[in-house]
Amino acid sequence: MSNDLGFQVRDKLILLVEAQSKFSVNIALRICCEENILMPFLTSRQKEVQDIIVTLFKQERVTEIHEYNLVKDAREEGLEKGICAMALTLKEFTADKAAVA
């Protein structure tokens, strides 16, 4: 599960590791300011933008954890059903073998 952020600013490809950190978000905002991208908006609302970005990445991480747990639960349930089916088949096989002998 990766929580890295990659984006392109003009001709630069920017990859921020662990994008939910305020440090990484500040780097992204600084690059946008340096490149004069959304400058009026970012300068007047930098703290608000920072909080929104961090919140979005936290929500994404919670969603990833939830999906992981759903898959894990489904896998465990499938394994349990498979073991039960195998035990039933073995029981039937043993009963058939005893009837033949």
Over the stretch 38-65, which tens digit does the pLDDT of each residue have?
Answer: 778 777 888 887 888 778 777 777 788 8
Task: Please state, as a whole number, how many other Cβ atoms lie within 10 Å of the Cβ of residue 48.
Answer: 11
Compute the mean pLDDT over every residue in the chain, rounded to the nearest whole number: 76
pLDDT at 9: 57
User: Structural domain of residue 91, as residue ranges?
Assistant: 5-100
Task: Provide the domain count of the chain.
Answer: 1
| SS3 call for 4 | coil
- The closest alpha carbon to 55, from 25, 31, 28, 17, belongs to 25
Confidence of residue 77 (pLDDT cuts 50, 70, 90): very high
- pTM of the full structure: 0.40
Are the C-beta atoms of 28 and 7 separated by less than 8 Å?
yes
Tokens read off for 17: 């590791």
**In angstroms, how far is CA 26 from the centroid of its own chain?**
22
Give 90 or 24, the one with higher predicted confidence.
Answer: 90
73 vs 8 pLDDT, higher one: 73
